Structure 1
Amino acid sequence: MKAQAVINKDFTVSNVDKRVFGSFLEHMGRAVYTGIYEPAHETADKNGFRQDVLEYVRDLDMPIVRYPGGNFVSAYRWEDGIGPREERPVRLDLAWRTRETNQVGVNEFADWAKLAKTEMMLAMNLGSRGLDDARNFLEYCNHPSGTYWSDLRAKHGYKDPHNVRIWCLGNELDGPWQVGHKSAAEYGHLANEVSKAFKYFDKTLETVACGSSNDKMKSYPEWEATVLDQAYESVDYISLHKYFGNEEQDTLNYFAKAMDLDRYIVTVGGIIDYIKAKKRSKRDVKICFDEWNVWYHDRKEDGERIASWNWPEAPALLEEVYNLEDALFVASLLNVFIRRSDRVKIACMAQLVNVIAPILTRTDGPAWRQTIYYPLQLASKYGRGTALNVSASGPTYDCEVAQDVPYLDISAVLHEGGRSIAIFAVNRSVDQSLDLSVALQGFKNVKIEKHTIMTGEDLRARNTVDAQHTVVPRDGSGLGLTDEGAVAGKLPPKSYHFILLSVATA
């Protein structure tokens, strides 16, 4: 099979916001406790944070992490997680039927974020609570001193404010499963009022309104239109969530689900444009895709376990073990975010550690990187810059999800300064190579500086505690430059490629 692509230096999409390569930590399962925080672990620092996990997080160059939920946040009292640990209450978490000890709260998360070299994105409880509690939370985190809540923070050992710049206005409040579920009209009004209050405090803060929990909700896409109709002039982002799986055990159909993500973004982008026109507004609301990942391997079994257990503390939950197939699919999802970087400015892989995560840990044991860690790492490190509009053509296939699905999935980013280009490409075919040619227009002195590949014979191959490097990126081969300066060569079946080019534009 043959495929062609053209990249022209003048045909750009948008700047790729680095926050599109973010992640998410919820008080759920072992994400926090024995995930990032395990005081008795041999690698734990004085604050109880696992250094092995921190090393892997820093290697992701993680720009932003959303916290503390997720469904957890919709019945969460943030005040339970501040002050002396021995005085913090144990609460029942209704979302996951567990006991929350509150040994980690906003201050500990702030400490961890500094060590992880990441920005905090805090979510507030707009399910069981409301405007005043949110306002107090903001004052505790961001006001310097001289008020009740800011002085209480200082009393707790944090004289300097945390200066959190972006706030999520609740979580999935369109969902009937959510504590404090609301209608779109109820939520839109509340989100607008909270966002306004936050900007009375500091007009430079950014706020994220809840969009649909997924694009299969009965209220989608009317939910987005109703919420934005009320809050468009106040909020900065509308959030979207979506999880994917291969329940059908049909690889090509699974890979095509990346097109569902693209359609979701395009549809909500159209709603944003409609409300903007309706309001005669000059503001641009963007998309914050703050929950996305593969989640299906043990989803049914975990649901049954949650319903049956008796309020355990930090139980193992949703600890998906990902395979090569999942890594290739995640690479395609990241390509969508790059190609739609004009709309999507923040995205958070859910979650970061243990719970549907790129990093797994053993309690009292090692941490290791899952297969999906590597495409996220490569995109985070090399996907920042200006997204280029890649014109691609080649063979396609039809499946249940979509028709005319291209076997070649590709994105490209021109790095700052214009001296290098990152190309991210997936060959979706399970049994045929792609003869690929990428023409580069407007670039000179092209050189292939790096070629990295993820592939293998077994799509079900996984990284485990006993075999941590079964599926990892390796040096690629088989690509070269034609006399015309095009990148050309074979992409093996079921493979992901990162190609770094040095170029000149003049």
Structure 2
Amino acid sequence: MRVRAAVHRDIDVARIDNRLYSAFIEHMGRAIYSGIYEPGHPEADAHGFRRDVAAMVRDLQIPAIRYPGGNFVSAYRWEDGIGPKEDRPVRLDLAWRSKETNQVGINEFAVWAQDVDIEMMLAVNLGSRGLEEARDFVEYVNHPSGTYWSDLRRSHGVENPYDVKMWCLGNEMDGPWQIGHKEAKEYGRLADETAKALKALTPDAELIVCGSSNDEMPTYPDWEREVLEECYENVHYISLHKYFGNSSNDTLNFFGKVEETGRYIQSIAGVIDFVKAKKRAKNDVHICFDEWNVWYHIREEDSRRWHSWDWPEAPDLLEENYNFEDALFVASLLNEFIRRSDRVKIACIAQLVNVIAPIRAERGGPAWRQTIYWPYQMASLYGRGKALRVAVDGPTYDCHVADDVNYLDASAVHDDAGGALTLFLVNRHLSEPADLRFELTGFAGATIEFHKTMAGHDLRATNGPGREDIAMAQGSGLGVEDGVLGGSLPPLSYHVVRLRV
């Protein structure tokens, strides 16, 4: 198939917020315990954190990480995770029907986050708790000294405050499954009052209010409107969540869900604009897409298990084995976030280790990178700068979730400071290569710095311990002549082309 595409140096979407490539980790399954933290493991450091996992995390250059939940946060007592470890209570986690030992709390997690150079985005419990407990948490974390909570932190060996800026006001409060689920107006009022209190403690705080758990919720998109009408002037972001799957074994429909996600973002952007106009507000609210990933391979099986098991400690849960098809989907979804970076400023892959994650780690054994690790890493490393609009003219297809889906999925990022243009390309055609002609207007003299690719794998192929066959490889078959990138892209392939400009 023949495909023409074009970018223009001066036609951009927005400057990308680096936090578009953030992550999420929850006290759930083995994400924390035997994921990032496993005392006694051969790779454990002095604090009990796994150095092999930390090295893989560092290589992603993640800007920020959302913690400690997730559904877990809606019944969490943050005070359980501070002070001497031997004095910490073991609690029943109602969200995932398991035991929480509280051996990792805010101070331990902060040590890990600093070690891997990631900014913390913390969530407060607005499910079973409320404004008072949220205020205490922020005071413990952010106030320098001279008060009960700040001096308690100092007595725990943390002299300087963490100065955390990003605070999530609960999690998925629209969901009936949530501990402390609330109606939209009720939650919006609570979020507004909590936001005002947190800004009194941390004036430059960035506050994230709960949007819809997914775009199939019966309350969507009225939930966003009702919530924002209560708290618009005091928050900075509204969160969206969405997970993806291919249970019908229809690859093209699976890939088409990227277009569905674009509609989701566009719809909520419209709600935001409506509320801003209705309230005559001056401030802007952006989107924080703080949970996204592929999740379907063992979802039904795991749901049956966790609803019946007898409160295990750090059980194997939601440990998806990602295949090559999933990697191609994640590459395209990241392209969509880049294309929507005028509205989506923060996005968090959910989660980071073991639980629906790009990194897996065996108890007492090795860690490895799953297939989806690689497009996530490529976007994080090379997707920083200005997102440019990409025009694509080529064959399309119709599917259940969307019509006129381009077989060639493309995004472009201009790193003007670094003098580079990076193209992220996915040929989603099942059998035909893409004969590509990509016009680079305004980038005279562009030369290829590198071309990396993932191609030629069976869609169901996976990685495993000691076996990372699906990874980025050296690409070939592309060249630049007279301001045009040309060549052939194999079917079902992902490409990162970095041009020196």
| Unaligned residue ranges in structure 2 (runs of 5+) | none
Q: Is the aligned partner of 1:28 residue 2:67?
A: no
Alignment of 1:67-106 (within 5 A): 67-106=67-106
Contact 2:97 2:306 (C-alpha < 8 Å) held by counterparts: yes
- 1:200 Cα deviation after fit: 1.3
In the TM superposition, residue 466 of structure 1 has moved relative to its aligned partner by: 4.1
- Whether the 8 Å contact between 1:451 and 1:500 is mirrored in structure 2 is yes
Return the alpha-carbon distance in structure 2 between the equivalents of residues 39 and 126 of structure 1.
32
The Cα shift of 1:457 comes to 3.7
SS of the residue 1:41 aligns to: coil
Partner residue in 1 for 2:115: 115
How many Å apart are 1:281 and its aligned residue?
1.2
Cα distance in structure 2, aligned partners of 1:115 and 1:200:
30
Kept in 2, the 8 Å contact 1:324–1:456? The answer is no
Tell me the residue number matched to 1:291: 291
The residue number in structure 2 matching 1:139 is 139
Instruction: Find the counterpart in structure 2 of residue 17 from structure 1.
Output: 17
- CA distance in 2 between partners of 1:341 and 1:457 (Å): 30
For 2:9, what is the secondary structure of its paired residue? strand
3-state SS in 2 of match to 1:500: strand
Structure 1, residues 167-198: CA drift from partner, whole Å, max 9, x if none? 00000000000000000000000000000111
Secondary structure at 1:204 match in 2? coil
Indicate yes or no: 2:231 matched with 1:224: no
C-alpha contact (below 8 Å) 2:425/2:494 kept by paired residues: yes
CA distance in 2 between partners of 1:301 and 1:98 (Å) = 17
Shift of 1:204: 0.7
What is the identity, as a one-letter code, of the residue corresponding to 1:494?
A: L
Alignment partner, residue 470 of structure 2: 471
Distance 2:471 2:430 in 1: 18
Which residue number in structure 2 is paired with residue 392 of structure 1? 392
Who is 2:422 aligned against?
A: 422
The residue number in structure 2 matching 1:60 is 60
Code of the residue aligned with 2:35 in structure 1: it is: G
| 1:178 aligned partner | 178
- 2:194 corresponds in structure 1 to 194
Q: In the comparison of the two structures, how many residue pairs are matched?
A: 501
Q: Residue deviations 1:410-429, cap 9 Å, x none?
A: 00000032611010010001
Q: What's the secondary structure of 1:151's corresponding residue?
A: helix
Alignment of 1:161-172 (within 5 A): 161-172=161-172
2:480 corresponds to which residue?
481
Q: Deviations over 1:205-246 (max 9, x none)?
A: 100000000000000000000000110000000000000000
Q: Secondary structure at the match of 2:266?
A: helix
The alignment status of 1:493 with 2:491, answered yes or no, reads yes
Q: Is the CA contact (8 Å cut-off) linking 2:66 and 2:122 kept in structure 1?
A: yes
- 1:154 — aligned with what? 154
CA distance, structure 2, for counterparts of residue 418 and residue 139 of structure 1: 39
Question: For 2:10, what is the secondary structure of its paired residue?
Answer: strand
Is there any run of 5+ residues in structure 1 with no aligned partner, and where? Answer: none
CA distance in 1, matches of 2:39, 2:375: 30
- Between the aligned partners of 1:347 and 1:257, the Cα distance in structure 2 is 17
Residue type of the alignment partner of 1:500: R
Preserved contact between residue 324 and residue 457 of structure 2 (Cα < 8 Å): no
Runs of 4+ in 1 over 2 A off after TM superposition: none
Distance across 2 between alignment mates of 1:418 and 1:120? 27
Distance in 2 of aligned mates of 1:18 and 1:417: 14
Taking structure 1 as the reference length, the TM-score comes to 0.98
- Contact 2:368–2:466 at 8 Å: present in 1 too? no
* Cα distance in 1 for residues equivalent to 2:160 and 2:42: 30
Partner residue in 2 for 1:502: 500
DSSP-derived class of the 1:103 partner: coil
Give secondary structure in 1 for the equivalent of 2:104. coil
Alpha-carbon displacement from aligned partner over 1:378-414 (angstroms, at most 9, x marks no partner): 0000000000011111000111111111001000000
Q: Give the residue type in structure 2 aligned to 1:489.
A: G
**Hey, what's the Cα distance between the residues in 1 that align with 2:314 and 2:141?**
26
- Cα distance in 2 for partners of 1:232, 1:478 equals 50
Distance 1:351 1:7 in 2: 33
Structure 2 Cα separation of the partners of residues 122 and 393 of structure 1: 43
> 3-state SS of the aligned residue for 1:186?
helix
**Matched-pair contact (CA < 8 Å) for 2:457–2:470:** no
Q: Which residue of 1 aligns with 2:350?
A: 350
Q: CA RMSD in A?
A: 0.7
Deviations 1:311-338, CA, capped at 9 Å, x for gaps: 0000000000000000000000000110
Residue 46 of structure 2 corresponds to residue 46 of structure 1: yes
Question: 8 Å contact 2:242–2:293 — kept in the other structure?
Answer: yes
In 2: Cα distance, 1:213 partner to 1:443 partner: 41
The amino acid that maps onto 1:93 is: D
The residue identity in structure 2 corresponding to 1:11 is I
Distance of 1:52 and 1:249 partners within structure 2: 34
Following superposition of structure 1 onto structure 2, how do residues 313-328 of structure 1 map, counting pairs within 5 Å?
313-328=313-328
Matching residue of 1:275: 275
Corresponding letter in the other structure for 1:475: Q
Structure 2 distance, partners of 1:138, 1:202, is 8
Alignment partners' CA distance in 2, 1:249 and 1:35: 30
Deviation at 1:445, TM superposition (A): 1.1
Code of the residue aligned with 1:485 in structure 2: it is G
Amino acid at match of 2:480: L
User: Which one-letter code corresponds to 2:436 in the other structure?
Assistant: L
Report the 3-state secondary structure (helix = DSSP H, G, I; strand = E; otherwise coil) of the residue aligned with 2:276. helix
Cα deviations by residue, 1:50-89 (Å, 9 ceiling, x for unpaired): 0000000000001101000000000000000000000000
Percent identity over paired residues: 62
Q: 3-state SS of the aligned residue for 1:444?
A: coil
SS in 2 for 1:232: helix
